[in-house]
Amino acid sequence: MKVLMLTWKSFGNEDMIDALKEKGHQVIEQPFSDKGEKSDEQLEQELTAHIRKNSPDFLFSFNYFPVASLACKKLGIPYVAWVYDSPYVRLYHYSINYPTNHVFVFDRQQYLEFHNAGIQTVHYLPMAANTKRLSAMADFATFRKTEWYNRHPVAFIGSLYTEKHQFYQRMEGKISPYTKGYLEGLMAAQLQIYGYNFIQESLHGDVLADMQKALPLTPGADSVESVEYLFAQYVVNRQITALERRNLLTAVSGLYGLDLYTPDQSITLPNCTNHGSVDYYDFAPYVFKKAKVNLNISLRSILSGIPLRAFDIMGAGGFLLTNYQEDFMNFFVPGEDFAFYESKADLLDKIGYYLNHEAERAQIAENGLRKISADHTYVQRVEEILSYL
């Protein structure tokens, strides 16, 4: 098959291209950039011209772009989108139901939301890892010469959402004391619970009206997302994640030490080395391989899905300790392929346990890598996607 692939600054580009080519498909890369708008007539016309010029069997992109969907519908060719971001409001654009769409989401609960609403163009597909590439990155000589070399037994790669322009901070000083108290209580309650998120259903009435007055987020005229969705997923759940990551990582670093790789290099925690951002493709795998314990603390808007970070940790042969996410249980065995925690106390206890049980920790990491290699590579995902087509 001939695949026209929209390439933008996304994760997985190189790995997906390698997998398609390994399966014998021709890949034509088309640089792509939009302005954040769901509809753009000029961009749609440009995409339509590129599609006509290359005559692909289908168009592919990481994440879903309505403008690409519109172009493909016009020309009658399949549009395959694999969404790894959460939240991702463009999924609620009216074009999602076009029959030329084949949209894959990594979160089973999100898939069920669309499925139960009668949307037949959205499918469930977990993320993947390129174990062939990750296994080849075994030489640490280059890594040791860089500033990213691990210094502690525990590592975390990810944002702490302390960068400027976070929505909650923009809203916080403008809401009423009642709304602020309600949200703080709601967030404190959600922080105690894994496996179910009740934020969206808890935003209503005067509280929601006050939030919208302070931060005027509104659904698009050409999409069906609710105000509750926007504030729950882009504002409150992100703030919960910020609070949770800071709290857990502070406790971890104080007790065991921590290598932190995050965009905000001003963050300081006890016994923590903040390395700043790390190149996810070229250097993050070395972090995963070298750390004795790799943490995953999922963004709270991910309802049940397995984040890409978790696949890459296991695919690199690293030991994964993650919060509970339901989708893990459909593919992996806790205590055999990975480990999960249910509270801060449980997290600290399990770090201590696995640091003191090296052979067991190494076996779990090996099992996780074996299972990723057998069932969760980009090559296998390409086969699954093509089976839909």
Question: Domain locations in the chain?
Answer: 2-125, 131-163+241-376, 167-240
> What pLDDT is attached to residue 138?
72
Match 């790669």 to its residue by tokens: 157
> What pLDDT is attached to residue 166?
85
> What pLDDT is attached to residue 36?
58
In single-letter form, the type of residue at position 249 comes to: L
- Locate 225 and state its tokens: 């997302």
> What pLDDT is attached to residue 234?
96
Ramachandran angles phi, psi of 106, nearest 5°: -90, -5
Q: How far is CA 321 from CA 156, 288, 370, in A?
A: 10, 12, 17
State the Cα–Cα distance between residues 134 and 9, nearest whole angstrom. Answer: 20
- Locate 112 and state its tokens: 């069920």
User: What is the chain's mean pLDDT, rounded?
Assistant: 94
CA dihedral 350, 351, 357, 361 (to 10 degrees): 90
- Locate 284 and state its tokens: 């993050």
Ordered alpha helix ranges (H), the chain? 13-22, 41-54, 66-75, 108-116, 131-136, 141-144, 167-172, 177-190, 199-202, 205-214, 227-231, 237-256, 284-290, 308-315, 344-356, 358-375, 378-388
Q: CB of 74 within 8 A of CB of 46? A: no
Match 């030991």 to its residue by tokens: 319
Q: CB of 321 within 8 A of CB of 288? A: no
> What pLDDT is attached to residue 39?
61
State the Cα–Cα distance between residues 384 and 389, nearest whole angstrom. Answer: 9
**CA count, 13 A, side-chain hemisphere, 178:** 6
DSSP state of 294: E
- Locate 370 and state its tokens: 């074996």
Does 2-125 match 131-163+241-376 in CATH topology? Answer: yes
Over its length of 389 residues, how does the chain's per-residue pLDDT go in tens digits? Answer: 999 999 998 899 999 999 999 999 999 999 998 765 556 888 999 999 999 999 999 999 999 999 999 999 999 999 999 999 999 999 999 999 999 999 999 999 999 999 999 999 999 999 999 999 999 887 655 555 445 567 899 999 999 998 766 899 999 999 999 999 999 999 999 999 999 999 999 999 999 999 999 999 999 888 999 999 999 999 999 999 999 999 999 999 999 999 999 999 999 999 999 999 999 998 999 999 999 999 999 999 999 999 999 999 999 999 999 999 999 999 999 999 999 999 999 999 999 999 999 999 999 999 999 999 999 999 999 999 999 88
Is this model's pTM higher than 0.85 or not? yes
- Locate 134 and state its tokens: 């990750």
Angle at which helices 308-315 and 358-375 pack, to 10 degrees? 110
Match 């309600």 to its residue by tokens: 182
In single-letter form, the type of residue at position 253 comes to: S
CATH class of the domain whose range is 131-163+241-376: alpha beta
Q: Does domain 2-125 have CATH number 3.40.50.2000?
A: yes
> What pLDDT is attached to residue 40?
81
> What pLDDT is attached to residue 300?
96
Which of 291, 314, 367, 321 has its CA nearest to residue 126? Answer: 314
Q: How far is CA 176 from CA 11, 16, 232, in A?
A: 40, 48, 18
